[in-house]
Structure 1
Amino acid sequence: MGRRIELPSDLAIIAQAQAGLITTAQCSELGVSLTRIARLLDSGAWSRVTRGVYDTDSTPIVTRHPDRRRRRAAFAAKLALGPDSVVVGACALAIHGVWGLPIALEPQAALPGGRRAYSRDGIHARMFDAGMTVTEVDGIMVATVDWALVQAVPEMGRYQAVAVMDHVLNRGLMTRDELDEVHDRARGRRGIATRHGFFGEVDARAESPPESEARLDCFDNGVPPDVLQVPVRDLSGVVRRGDLGWKFKDGRLLIAEIDSDEHHTMAQLAADAERHNDITAVSAVVLHFRKQAVSTPGTVSSKVRATLDTYNSGFR
């Protein structure tokens, strides 16, 4: 076994803030030589991301938390293009904390002032959009949410684009009118021609990406929910909310609850289960769907349709 290489604690702090990444320049400033970097790479403790950028996390990327993987993509682009670069597109949305993004993001950044950079090693160097506004988040410069959406939506699939825009409105990061301005600004961009309809499907009431996906699945298959964030009074008289709701012919409610491991802690899932039991005992039929079911087209909508048909058949 080789001798363990001690590294400055400041380096670990910087790397942690950059989703595990570090640059040659940062290493040099902290007294970590090229020889030490080479030994870390040879040992497998570090890996090379691109020229001058290294990943200090030895765990496989696919096992890391989705948020950390998204942030890693953003920092990879930022560090590869240099200190003046601006993170853009979906990577900028990840830094803003927007939900619904793909887990595996293409690293994207741009240089201001009309300067060109070249894409390499899977890192996309974009042109700096004329008029683009930027802001500082977590110590790095990123496109503002509106411009990040202009750049990202033309490159996203429907479920992801709608979920992202749902979350932006739900969090109050922009208004519906401002989202309409984003749509207008995106016109003419490559890819937007097949995505205009996404903007009309956005609903600010959705509280998680799986809720957005389940809603779209039900719309696509002819069982659109009657209401979102359904108010229901439980056993103790407290008004609770269900994610998606439909009305039975006898006046009761069918509620679909979307349980998301990524967007709920175990404590939140446990609290949800108790809340759902109270709701079921009073006035509603509750269906639970986990991520795998929601991600399989037709699963939520077919179960909702079958339940509505079964319960309504006695009231015709």
Structure 2
Amino acid sequence: MNAIQPLAPVAKPMFDPAALTAHVAQRAAEVRRLRGLFAPTSMGKLSLTTALESYDGPDPGAWSRLRRGAFMAGNPAELDTQERLIMMAVAVHEAAERPPLFTHGTARAILDLPSIGRDPQLIELAKPPGRSGRSPQTRRRRTSIEPTGLAVDELLVTTIDRTVIDSARERSLESAVTTADAALRREIADAGSLLAQVRALPKGARGCKMAELALCLADGRAESPLESLSRIRMFQLGLPMPELQVEFYDASGFIGRVDFFWRQLGIIGEADGRVKFRVTEGLTGKAAEEAAWRAKRRDDRLLRHPAVRKVGHWDWGEALRSHVFVQVMSELGVRPVRQGGWPIPDGPLPRKSRAMPL
């Protein structure tokens, strides 16, 4: 290869029914794995069971109480947030007279849809019409629009579309877009269908304006929650909209695919979470040094490209704090403009869509 190839933008992912089927199957397998640690019984019956000579399960001292009449093998503190929510959902499901429909944060956990910010610790489920009552460690969500259920193993959750839309209606803009980006990237949702469903909500429905904005801004080319957060910070701060996932080549071949590129400015931006530069566990310090060297060489090649003037990097700590992020962008050479080119709906933007100082 003797010449520099043109820059190559990456196409947006498209909805794939096979991808949706595979994703639900993978999540069902995870629910089954965690359900294997669950014991729906009282402590007295559990003690009798573990005393039987034929018992070959966990050590009796290894059981932990989840809620009344529900135990798990092991320590819940050793589970991550997503796994704990799924375990609690299993416990609520087993105690219910009829299968509950899990919604919002619980549905996101079961469906493995990321968000930004702290998820509710209570198990969220739809409140059946005309029914009342309480259940410990749960929050019943009223809804004016009857949700449709999706079976993930034995658990019933709101559909992918409904879970994304519910998040978009009540979470922060950066969190809502992170959830939508992930669904689009995995090809388990369709951008046009999501937006059409939001626009079909009853006039004045709570959170519909924020949801419409979030789905207008969603883009499945974002490859991580940090990239989604960074892009929404750029929007909130009035910065020009970048191109996503542009591939660069030189005379030696492929250089890399960058997170953000402002073509007119000749500036590349990279959202660098720890995962991007993680060295496989057990490798030596020399391997870590080699990974850092490769990253530097990549930047050097990008800077020699005729379309590139500058390359900048930032991390989670900088992207989360808007007043820090605007300084990072300013030093990189990306500053607010009057018309940023962002795809936004007609009319005034929701008040809460702007960045809050942190």
Q: Determine if the TM-score, normalized by the shorter chain, exceeds 0.5.
A: yes
Counterpart-to-counterpart distance in 2, 1:49 and 1:132: 28
C-alpha spacing 1:233/1:85, structure 2 compared with 1 (3 Å): same
- CA offsets per residue over residues 13-36 of structure 1, 9 Å max, x none? 9995139654228x89xx625898
Equivalent-residue separation in structure 1 for 2:263 and 2:326 (angstroms): 15
Matched to 2:70, the amino acid is V
Indicate the SS of the match to 2:46. coil
1:18-61 Cα offsets, whole Å, 9 max, x none, are 39654228x89xx625898xxxxxx9955544332335443537
Q: Is 1:123 aligned with 2:138?
A: yes
Contact 2:270 2:312 in 1 (8 A): yes
Relative to the length of structure 2, the TM-score reads: 0.64
Give the deviation of 1:210 after TM superposition: 0.9
Matched, 1:99 2:138: no
Tell me the secondary structure at the aligned position of residue 54 of structure 1: strand
Which residue, 243, 252, 255 being the options, matches 2:268? 255
Picking from 172, 194, 215, the partner of 2:187 is 172
| Cα RMSD, aligned residues only | 4.0
For residues 196 and 32 of structure 1, the distance between their equivalents in structure 2, rounded to whole angstroms, comes to: 50
Range with greater deviation from structure 2 (299-308 or 207-216): 299-308
3-state SS, counterpart of residue 173 of structure 1? coil
Which one of 301, 306, 321 corresponds to residue 282 of structure 1?
A: 301
Separation of aligned partners in 2, 1:102 and 1:94: 13
What is the distance in 2 between the residues matched to 1:19 and 1:289?
41
Contact 1:257 1:289 (8 Å CA) reproduced:
yes
- Residue 231 (1) aligns with residue 250 (2): no
Would you say the 8 A contact 1:73–1:91 is kept in 2?
no
Q: Aligned partners of 1:158, 1:248: CA distance in 2, in Å?
A: 27
Using the size of structure 1 for normalisation, the TM-score is 0.71
1:181 shift after superposition? 2.9
Are the structure 2 counterparts of residues 245 and 14 from structure 1 closer, same or farther at C-alpha, using a change threshold of 3 Å?
A: closer
1:144 offset after TM fit, Å?
Answer: 1.1
Q: What is the deviation of 1:243?
A: 0.8
Counterpart position of 1:243:
259
Residues 44 and 246 (structure 1), Cα distance of their counterparts in 2 relative to 1, 3 Å cut = farther
SS for the counterpart of 1:121 is coil
Deviation at 1:162, TM superposition (A): 1.0
For 2:67, the aligned partner's letter is: T
Q: Identity of paired residues, percent?
A: 24
Rounded Cα–Cα distance in structure 1 between residues aligned with 2:280 and 2:272: 12
Cα offset, 1:258, TM superposition: 1.8
The structural deviation recorded for 1:214 is 0.7
Alpha-carbon shift at residue 160 of structure 1 (Å) = 0.6
Q: 1:189 and 1:47 mapped to 2: Cα distance?
A: 42
Instruction: Describe the shift of the 1:57–1:158 C-alpha distance in structure 2 as closer, same or farther (beyond 3 A).
Output: farther
1:17 has 2:34 as partner: yes
Pairing partner for 2:325 from 286, 300, 306: 300
Deviation at 1:241, TM superposition (A): 0.5
CA distance in 2, matches of 1:54, 1:126: 26
- In structure 2, C-alpha distance between the alignment counterparts of 1:44 and 1:103, rounded to whole Å: 32
Decide which of 145, 160, 173 is 2:160's aligned counterpart.
145
Q: CA-to-partner distance for each residue in 1:179-234, whole Å, 9 max, x for gaps?
A: 11331355454444554422222122211111011111122223334311122226
2:220 to 187, 199, 204: 204
- Tell me the SS of whatever aligns to 2:313: strand
Aligned length: 284
Q: Identify the structure with bigger relative contact order (alpha carbons < 8 Å, sequence gap 6+).
A: 2
Instruction: Report the alpha carbon displacement of residue 259 of structure 1 after superposing the two structures with TM.
Output: 2.7
Return the alpha-carbon distance in structure 2 between the equivalents of residues 77 and 265 of structure 1: 37
Give the corresponding residue for 2:103: 88
Of residues 184-193 and 195-204 in structure 1, the stretch that sits farther from structure 2 once superposed is 184-193
Contact 2:151–2:157, Cα closer than 8 Å, also in 1: yes
Matched, 1:58 2:75: yes
Match 2:125 to one of 100, 106, 109: 109
3-state secondary structure, aligned to 1:132: coil
Gap change, CA 1:272 and 1:207, over 3 Å in 2: farther
Given candidates 217, 232, 237, the residue that maps to 1:216 is 232
- Is 1:71–1:94's contact at 8 Å kept on the other side of the alignment? yes
Query: Aligned in 2, Cα 1:248/1:131: closer, same or farther, shift over 3 Å?
Result: closer
Mark the runs of 5 or more structure 2 residues left unpaired by the alignment.
Answer: 1-29, 51-59, 282-286, 304-309, 336-358
Q: Secondary structure at the match of 2:253?
A: coil
> Contact conserved, 1:99 with 1:209, CA < 8 A, in 2?
yes
Provide the rounded CA distance (Å) in 1 between the counterparts of 2:172 and 2:297.
37
User: What secondary structure is seen at the aligned counterpart in 1 of 2:258?
Assistant: strand
